[in-house]
Each structure stands twice: as structure tokens, then as C-alpha cells.
A and B are shown apart, each in its own frame.
Chain A
Amino acid sequence: MWFSTPRLLVGLYGLSLAAVGSSAADVDFMSVRPTVAKEYSGKGGEPGPKYFKESDFHYHYDGRFADKPLSEDETVPHLSELIRTYLSTMEDLGAETWIMHGTLLAWWWNQKIFPWDNDLDVQISEPTIHFLADYYNMTEHHFEIPGVEGGRTYLLEINPNYVIRSTDDKLNVIDARWIDTSSGLFIDITAVRKDDERRERGDPGALMCKDGHRFDETEIFPLRNSYFEDVSVKIPFEYVRLLKKEYGSKSMTATTFQGHHFNDVTEVWDKQRKRQFWRRQPVDVPVRTTPLGPLLR
């Protein structure tokens, strides 16, 4: 079956896909769409056990590929390559994908990843997740990256519970991951599905994700072509409305966030060095080195 265990796959390294150019020669969405793209409805099955696990050291690292988080300086460059390789792979496969949530907000500000971020959110449509599961689950994609010796290998892993179409499947809200095997960082990929319940109630464009987010087709489609981290990316049609709905108006206007300040000249989020005077300075607390006497213990 296509959802073999990931550990086994790491062993099958040589068998998987490799290199950027090669994927274009393989199956793309357009050529096989009649076999995958059809109407999906119903629950699809009972909720399953949790498939994607987070590492014990950080919720946004895949524990199979790392045992510690990256340093702050290394994180953003890794994430940048992560999204660039993902977007270019999906483009090669003809698989439509677009950014959402925090990544869309970061795009709004300066089309770059937030310096404090350690996750990325992208969405795909339901036919696309079926296509990726049928043809590209557990494929490895090797990229040569300037300044990175030996390049990096990325793994596309589909959650086998993607066939379950209900928000009751609470442990499997993420449908797929694009994983940087060098660092354990990954992108959460969620499929946007037709919302049967709301459509029955007379809402023809109703969409939903297993993570509980609800959309309308007119909010997302037709997608716009823009740029993120200097590569082309698709953006939901009503991006301002979606961002306002999810994060409120201030998220698109307030220039101070997560200890960073948006510099309107350089258009970059600068880390705030000095703390605001009204906030209490963190004090270096003296640490005892000699053990306490036995009486006190």
C-alpha cells in the first residue's frame, strides 16, 4: 500500500524520486485527473488514530528527522527553502496549491516569512490530495540549494486518513506534510473539501477543512498569482476578507508584533532591541551553587 511506514521509507531512499527536473517527466495532475478528480462526499470512514506526530522537543518539528530545534538564525532560511521547494514541486506536478492562515498574513506584510515563525500553512483542493496520495505519497525530492552543501531532500507524506471527510477526525486534521529531512521542519498541508452539510442547507459554495475552518468558494477562487519568498504563489481571491475573519483588522495594520517592529522604509520586521520602559525588565536571578544544608532539606 502507498502508506508504508515512514521509517521504512527512509530505508528505501534510493527508490524514491529525486532531483527537481525529474518530477516534470512523471505524472502530472492534468494527465491523470479523470482517475482522481471526482465528487467526494460523505464521511469517508471513522476517525482514525493520530498519524502525524510532533517531536517531543518542539511541536513543529518531525521527530523522525531531528532531535533538536534549529537555532533562531537558521530557522527562517530553512523555512524559506521549504516553501520554495514545495511551491515549485507542486507547480511541476500541476497540483494547485495556495497559502493560508499565518503564511497569508506574512505575505500581506512583505511577502516574506515572519522572522518569528516556525510553521507554514498551505491548502490544496480535494482532488489534488487524492492525486498526491495516489501518485506521490512518500516521494522524496532532492534540491540543490545555493550555499548548502549536498542540497536537501524533502519528503511528501500523505496522512492516510485524508479519505475521512469529517471534522470528527480530530487527530488527523492535517492531510499531508512537506518535510525537510535535514532539519525536521515541515509544512502543514490541508485539503479544502466541499462542506456537505452546509451545501445541503442551500449554501452551494460551502467549503471546509478537517481543522474546522470554513470557507466559501468565492473567497478562495479564482486564485490570484502573486509572489512569496521571491517565487510565484497562488493567493485566495478575497485575501483581505479571509485575513480579517481569521485575525481581525489590526493584524493587517499594527506594526508591532511578537517582539518585532515593521520598518516601513526597509519593509522588514526588525527585532525590537530595547524593551519598552513600562514593561518590567527581566532580571537575572542569582542561582545557588552550594547545596542547601541538610536541615532545610
Chain B
Amino acid sequence: MASTHQYHHDTESLDYSSDGSDDVPFLPNAINPSRRVKRYTRPLIEYVRNEWQSNTKYSGSSPDRSEIPGWVQMVMSIITAPRFRRYAIIYTTLFISCLLGWEFVLSPRLKEHSELTKSLDPNSKEKVGGWYGTNALPSFEGVIQLKNLDPSLLPAREAPGPGKDSSRRLIVVGDVHGCRIELERLLDEVTFNNKTDHLIFTGDLISKGPDSPGVVDLARKYSASCVRGNHEDRVLLVRQELAEVDAMTDTSGDEFMDGLSTSGAQKDLKLARKLTDEQAEWLDACPVILNVGHIPTMGQVAVVHGGLVPGVDYDKQDPFSVMNMLTIDLDTHLPSSSRDGKKWTKFFNAHQSVAYKSTKHADSQATDTQATTVIYGHDSKSSLSIKTYTKGLDSSCVKGGKLTAFVITDGGEQQVIQVRCDNYLGE
């Protein structure tokens, strides 16, 4: 009992001293607290020996004070105390930061989580009447929906021993957009070796940039794989139309062609004519979805330009959506090419982690084979975006950003390598 009492006074006195009240000369006494406690057992004010207590000049306010009820005085004295003010500031800041954290971080996260969970709930499928992927997929003339990558091109299953190099590598490159010089620099940067490395492009090799045919030639030279991007899609369709009306070289009929009012359409037309038959054929052979196959630590890997909707078979994924998706409707799982909505990658990652959570710890091998990882481009606004099951590689090279290579080596090791790009759009 005695010891706690002593401790109480002790802290009190220490606090007084820290307030820096210099007219109370007990600072040196702090060295010996027990002695000081004996001396100052009453409020310090009573130890004041100057005329403060006796002179009426200083007690003038006392009649007023007595009018104020005691509890108000107490409250006032607490509020005006410097310690209270200090704590008040600390606690208010703490409270506000908690509030902001809840409002802008935690609450949206929780809301998003519950939204995603709800949209993945099979019961909600009945409520909305069905999910994306039930329709009979239309076929488009000259568009290949799916290709499988030759398994002999995949890196070895086991990671290379210490000091050894990977026996095979997959080098996936984001949207090049005709930036041939940057592509060459990037291949130097990753020390590309045509014998052991296989190049894969996430689409949009062409358009916008300075040398689209050059990029296609480079890709052909290295027998690269690719997927159809929205820009290839447009340019190849324009080319198809030119072939239909026999206007590949003849520009006299251009003024009678539909849909050429925008500058974008004019550029597409120009590029469509600029490509050689071989280049166009090579681009036309790029599928909408490239099924890379199984890679340790990544599961089933698919390369697309825009994105994929989880839970829908490759041959049920609408090609326009695969090439253009940015967001997804959480009710119907219908992807959209517009930016307003939930990002498809959030939905995809949520779906994969829910679907394979149960097996995650029990059998990581099973997760490995079942889960799907998507490597994609298209979304230059989000730039490089590496998540567990989605790897976004469009880092807006043509706009002066970077060109990204996602390198997969033996054992499924992954590495991101980038080079800086010139700004060819002058925006």
C-alpha cells in the first residue's frame, strides 16, 4: 500500500517538474523522491510564500468563482490543464486518423470484399438470372479463339541448382505498339537467346508507335507467340474489308468507305495497307487466348490482351471482351471495355483465392494445377500490375512509359524487367 502511494506522488511530482514551473525549486530533489514526498503532501499552491495568497489584489476573482458551480470549475480546470490539452490533441488526431482509415481504407475494403464474395456466390446467379458465358459463342471469320503453346517451350519444372542458369525461359512482353527500338533494347536487357528463350506478346504489337511492321518482323524472326489485341483486331478487319472490295493498293475508293471519319480509323486504314501479306497473316494467326499450359507456382497460365472472366471456359469467353475488358459487372459477370466499374483483375483474384483457398494449405500441388494465372496487357492506365493470379504488363511504352518483360524461368521463378521508352504520342 505504502509503495503505491509513494509511486503516485512520485509520478505527480515528475509531471510537475516536466511542466517546467521554475518557481517550485524541487528539481534537484527529484533525485531523492522519498524526501520530497514528505515535504510536499499538500497542493503546491499552499507552499507559495509571496503575497499571492494574502494580497486581496489576487483574490478579486474569488466571488465570481463561487457563483460558478463546483463541477464546472473542475471541468474548466481539467480542460485548461496543459496535460489535458496535450492528450486531447493526441487523442483527437488518433480518433480522426482512425475515422479516416475506416472511411477510406478499411470500410471500402470490407465493402469490396463482401461485394466480391456476394457476386461469386452461386445463389446470386439465380437471382440475376444467369452469368456471363452461357450463350453459344459466335464465330468470327478469320479469328482464332484459342491456341495451346508447344509444351517443349516451357521452362523446366524444377528450379535450376545454385550457380546454374535456367535451361528455358518464357519472356512475355507487354504492349509494344510499334516501338521496335525499345523492344530491341528490352531483348538486350533480358539477354534474349533465341535457342533457349521463347517470346510471347500480350497483343497490341502494332498501331500508334513508329514502326509497327518492324515489330512484327522482329516477332516473326524469333518465331514468337502472340495474342490478338484490340488494335490488331481493328487493323486486320480493315484489311479484310480492303481485300473484299479489292482496294488493298487502290485508294481511289476510300472516300466511299464507311467509318473513316475519325483520325484513328484513318490511321488504321493506313497501317492495314502498310502491312505485307506475310505480316498480316502472322498477326491473323495470333489467337484471342493463348493457353501457355502449366507452370509451377503459377498454375495454368493463359496470355490474353484484355482479360478473362474466371469460371468460364476458354472456348466460352467472348472474343471482343477478351480483347477489350477493363472492368466487370459484379451481378452478371459481364465484362466491359469501359473504365467505370470493378476492375476485372480484382474479381479474378478474388475468384481464384476463394476457389482454391480450401486446397491452399492442404495440398499446394492441387492449387498449382487448378488455379489460373492470366498475363495480359491493354490497361496502360493501371501500368505494371503484378498480382497473385493476374499479371498486367502494359506500362504505356508508346506514351513514354516503360516496356515490360515478364520473365518466367525454370521452376516457375518470375522476374520483371523494364526499359524506358521515348514518348511517341507527344501527349
B255 touches A108 (CB 8 A): no
Interface residues of A in 257-292 (CB under 8 A from B): 262, 264, 267
Task: Mark interface residues in A229-266 (1 if CB within 8 Å of B CB, else 0).
Answer: 00010010111110010000110111110000010100
In the complex, which residues of chain A have a beta carbon less than 8 angstroms from the beta carbon of B334? 240, 244, 249, 252-253
What is the total number of residues of chain A having a CB less than 8 Å from a CB of chain B? 45
A252 touches B135 (CB 8 A): yes
In the complex, which residues of chain A have a beta carbon less than 8 angstroms from the beta carbon of B333? 253
User: Looking at chain B's contact residues, is the secondary structure mostly helix, strand, loop, or mixed?
Assistant: loop
B241 touches A256 (CB 8 A): no
Nearest residue, chain B, Cβ from A29: B256
In the complex, which residues of chain A have a beta carbon less than 8 angstroms from the beta carbon of B424? none
Nearest residue, chain B, Cβ from A206: B261
Cross-chain contact of B128 among A127, A222, A250, A262 (Cβ < 8 A):
A250
A262 touches B261 (CB 8 A): no
In the complex, which residues of chain A have a beta carbon less than 8 angstroms from the beta carbon of B256? 33-34, 37, 127
Given contacts A250-B129, A253-B333, contact A226 B140 (CB under 8 A): yes
In the complex, which residues of chain A have a beta carbon less than 8 angstroms from the beta carbon of B13? none
Q: How far apart are the CA atoms of A264 and B316 in the complex, in Å?
A: 11
B128 touches A217 (CB 8 A): no
Nearest residue, chain B, Cβ from A94: B245
Q: How far apart are the CA atoms of A222 and B264 in the complex, in Å?
A: 12
Nearest residue, chain B, Cβ from A107: B138
Q: Does A15 contact B (CB under 8 A)?
A: no
In the complex, which residues of chain B have a beta carbon less than 8 angstroms from the beta carbon of A51? none
B262 touches A244 (CB 8 A): no
Q: Does B329 contact A (CB under 8 A)?
A: yes
Q: Does A225 contact B (CB under 8 A)?
A: yes
Interface size class of B (residues with CB under 8 A): 35 or more
Q: Does B108 contact A (CB under 8 A)?
A: no
In the complex, which residues of chain B have a beta carbon less than 8 angstroms from the beta carbon of A267? 135-136
In the complex, which residues of chain B have a beta carbon less than 8 angstroms from the beta carbon of A254? 128-130, 332
Task: Mark interface residues in B237-259 (1 if CB within 8 Å of A CB, else 0).
Answer: 11011000100000001011011
With both chains docked as a complex, state the minimum distance between the C-beta of A126 and any C-beta of chain B, in angstroms: 9
Given contacts A232-B141, A237-B234, A238-B337, contact A108 B135 (CB under 8 A): yes
Task: Mark interface residues in B314-349 (1 if CB within 8 Å of A CB, else 0).
Answer: 000010110010000101111111100000000000
In the complex, which residues of chain A have a beta carbon less than 8 angstroms from the beta carbon of B258? 96, 125, 127, 217, 220-221
Given contacts A237-B234, A239-B320, A267-B136, contact A249 B241 (CB under 8 A): no
B259 touches A255 (CB 8 A): no
Q: Does B265 contact A (CB under 8 A)?
A: yes
B337 touches A108 (CB 8 A): no
Q: How far apart are the CA atoms of A37 and B257 in the complex, in Å?
A: 9
Interface residues of B in 149-186 (CB under 8 A from A): none
In the complex, which residues of chain A have a beta carbon less than 8 angstroms from the beta carbon of B255? 37
In the complex, which residues of chain A have a beta carbon less than 8 angstroms from the beta carbon of B32? none
B142 touches A217 (CB 8 A): no
Given contacts A37-B256, A110-B135, contact A218 B262 (CB under 8 A): yes
Q: How far apart are the CA atoms of A96 and B329 in the complex, in Å?
A: 33
With both chains docked as a complex, state the minimum distance between the C-beta of A195 and any C-beta of chain B, in angstroms: 10
Q: Does A223 contact B (CB under 8 A)?
A: yes
Q: How far apart are the CA atoms of A217 and B264 in the complex, in Å?
A: 10
Q: How far apart are the CA atoms of A255 and B132 in the complex, in Å?
A: 10
A222 touches B262 (CB 8 A): no
B240 touches A252 (CB 8 A): no
Cross-chain contact of B141 among A30, A225, A256 (Cβ < 8 A):
A225
A249 touches B321 (CB 8 A): no
Q: Does A40 contact B (CB under 8 A)?
A: no
Q: How far apart are the CA atoms of A223 and B238 in the complex, in Å?
A: 8
Q: How far apart are the CA atoms of A222 and B272 in the complex, in Å?
A: 12
A250 touches B337 (CB 8 A): no
In the complex, which residues of chain A have a beta carbon less than 8 angstroms from the beta carbon of B140? 224-226, 235
B265 touches A217 (CB 8 A): yes
In the complex, which residues of chain A have a beta carbon less than 8 angstroms from the beta carbon of B268? 222
Q: Does A205 contact B (CB under 8 A)?
A: yes
Q: Does A183 contact B (CB under 8 A)?
A: no
Q: How far apart are the CA atoms of A58 and B212 in the complex, in Å?
A: 55
Q: How far apart are the CA atoms of A259 and B132 in the complex, in Å?
A: 20
In the complex, which residues of chain A have a beta carbon less than 8 angstroms from the beta carbon of B321? 240
Q: Does A161 contact B (CB under 8 A)?
A: no
Q: Does A141 contact B (CB under 8 A)?
A: no
- Given contact pairs A218-B259, A226-B138, enumerate 4 new A-B contacts (beta carbons under 8 Å): A217-B261, A222-B237, A222-B240, A237-B237
Q: Which 5 A-B pairs have the closest CB atoms?
A: A221-B259, A254-B129, A225-B141, A222-B237, A267-B136
16 A-B residue pairs with Cβ-Cβ distance under 8 Å, sorted by A, are A111-B138, A205-B262, A217-B260, A222-B259, A223-B237, A224-B141, A225-B140, A225-B141, A226-B139, A226-B141, A240-B334, A241-B336, A241-B337, A249-B331, A252-B132, A253-B130
Instruction: Give the interface of B toward A (CB within 8 A).
Output: 128-132, 134-136, 138-142, 234, 237-238, 240-241, 245, 253, 255-256, 258-265, 268, 318, 320-321, 324, 329, 331-338
Instruction: Give the interface of A toward B (CB within 8 A).
Output: 30, 33-34, 37, 94, 96, 107-111, 125, 127, 194, 199, 204-205, 217-218, 220-227, 232, 235, 237-241, 244, 249-250, 252-256, 262, 264, 267
